[in-house]
Amino acid sequence: MSQKEGEKEMLLKDKKILIMGIRNKWSIAYGIAKSAYENGAKLIFTYMGEENREKIEELISEFEGSKAYVLNGASEDELVKEVFTKIKEENGKMDGIVHAIAHANTEDLHNDFIYTSKEGYAHAVDVSSYSFVLTARIAKEIDMLNENANLVTLTYHGSTKVLEGYNVMGVAKAALEASVRYLAENLGKESIRVNAISAGPIKTLSAKGIKDFSSILTVVEEKSPLHRNVTTTQVGNVATFLLSDMSDAITGQVIYADSGYCIMGV
């Protein structure tokens, strides 16, 4: 054996990973952070709201050596550049960035999609999709990424199929997935990979905004090939794989981590 008996292989040993959008221990971002940390990564986080500093610092305290930075506008060019510049100055270049940021107005999730306002449409796409494009562009402009770095974002099955209550977020995620493909082509010449994870439904704070969300969980458990819902730990492990050199032939893809639900016709 190449390693000591019982020693865990560290897929992200000595890699620096920036995770954008952590909120609480139930979030997918937290599941990704936990898996990345257990695989040897050094973690840097961004979060919204100075008033959340104490809560976030307590949340990430289990990840030894991690740091957190306030970013109150992930789709605002100057704010992102300012925070990314500070992160680079204090931590050096990153080996990976995880984009876990999305938002839509509550009324646009509760009403029929046809009633989506212009402001609501623009807001959902701006925060949930453009922010990822901006992340990639600023990271490139300030030379924030190491060679063979990886960008990973989070999407959902509602981008390709109609799911009641997902509404304008489905449109925003469809734009996000198209952005993944174009960014992968643009950054591939610099050996930077870009992928998305389409996770199955998980009881996160964001999911609470979707009407009748619990019924979606029930359907996935009943209909998916594995007959179970996914966990943040499982999604986190997929992210760790995509952030690691083990996936170095994969870019521009949407990887489904949904117990196989997406393959079912009924």
Catalytic site positions: 156, 166
Could you give the CA distance from residue 80 to residue 64 in angstroms, rounded to a whole number? 25
DSSP letters of 11-45?
A: TTTT-EEEEE---STTSHHHHHHHHHHHTT-EEEE
Could you give the CA distance from residue 43 to residue 229 in angstroms, rounded to a whole number? 27
Could you give the CA distance from residue 162 to residue 53 in angstroms, rounded to a whole number? 37
The residues, ordered by sequence, that sit 6+ positions from 51 with a Cβ below 8 Å of its Cβ are: none
Could you give the CA distance from residue 130 to residue 183 in angstroms, rounded to a whole number? 12
Phi, psi of 46 (to 5 degrees): -120, 150
